[in-house]
Amino acid sequence: MDKKQQQIIPIQYIPVTQCEEDEIDLKELIKTILKYKKFIVIFTLLITFLAALYAFLKTPVYETKAYFQIGYFNNVNRISINKTYIDKTYIIDPQALKVYIQNNFPNVNANFIKNTKNILNLKIETFSNKEGLNYLNKILSFIHKKEDKKLNVYIKNIKSKINILKDYSKTLQNQIKNLKQQLKTTKDPDIYKSILDNIAKYQKETVTTKLKIADLENQISPVNITKTHIIGKIIQHNHPVKPKKKLIITVAFITGFILSIFLVFFIEFVKNFKEESSI
């Protein structure tokens, strides 16, 4: 006959004294906080007042935002239009502009927008919106001066090419004129045909030259040259971005409250330690 074995499950016993000690500790903590409640309130209010004083006395900082599109010119011909930046320094090394700005202006954050190489995001922090706008114009003026130097060289080179092509076109016209004069006096059919072929060739070359001149003139046309400019509106607010008064006061209040409680427990710890040492 099988005997059923009874399984005995041990019950964990928690002494009543341990629960009582935990309850006593919690009560002691509350008693300690209530005992020093005046200190906690005064200390918290003092920290909050000092933070508020700092927030209201600190000089307000205003932010000016703008987007710059870096200047470029279009290489236009009968086949395609290619965009070329006037000053590639900023595209290849954006730090070049950042270094200049940071060394000559107040707090400025300059970054190219992600996945772009020609749109610069500028944030300027100054003590007034008017001052921010002045610095923004100074930065734009600085970029324009650098671009003007590049453009002057570029336009000068293009005009030089145009003058060479115009001189060449005049030479072709003179040759055509001379060949036409020869036609009047030529009686040999072969020579006559050869002169006609040369005239046709020079006329074709003249047309090609004039088209090249037109392309070059089009390249230096104001329509195809765009200097660095501001995209959209300049963003400014009537209220300062710094200091953030509400945030400073709130953080100071919470920090002061937590710190005051810590100091209360530390004071009690020191007192108890001295009492135990004297026994």
Asked if residue 87 is part of any domain, the answer here is no
Boundaries of domain holding 270:
22-58+243-279
Mean pLDDT of 41-61: 92
Counted domains in the chain: 1
Asked if residue 253 is part of any domain, the answer here is yes
Kindly state the percentage of the chain with pLDDT values over 70: 83
Q: What is the pLDDT of residue 25?
A: 72
Asked if residue 33 is part of any domain, the answer here is yes
Kindly state the percentage of the chain with pLDDT values over 90: 37
Q: What is the pLDDT of residue 162?
A: 96
Residue at token pair 């710094």: 242
Residue 38: exposure state from Cβ atoms within 10 A (0-12, 13-18, ≥19): exposed
Q: What is the pLDDT of residue 189?
A: 87
Q: Is residue 10's pLDDT more than 60?
A: no
Mean pLDDT of 190-202: 92
- Mind listing the pLDDT tens digit for each residue in 100-115? 666 666 777 777 777 7
Q: What is the pLDDT of residue 3?
A: 46
Asked if residue 228 is part of any domain, the answer here is no
Residue 92: exposure state from Cβ atoms within 10 A (0-12, 13-18, ≥19): exposed
Asked if residue 271 is part of any domain, the answer here is yes
Q: What is the pLDDT of residue 94?
A: 60
The full 3-state SS of 29-50, as one line of letters, equals HHHHHHHCHHHHHHHHHHHHHH
Asked if residue 262 is part of any domain, the answer here is yes
Asked if residue 26 is part of any domain, the answer here is yes
CA distance 177 to 171: 10
Average pLDDT across the chain, whole number? 83
pTM above 0.75, yes or no: no
Asked if residue 110 is part of any domain, the answer here is no
- Mind listing the pLDDT tens digit for each residue in 250-269? 999 999 999 999 998 888 88
- Mind listing the pLDDT tens digit for each residue in 220-247? 888 889 998 999 999 998 888 888 889 9
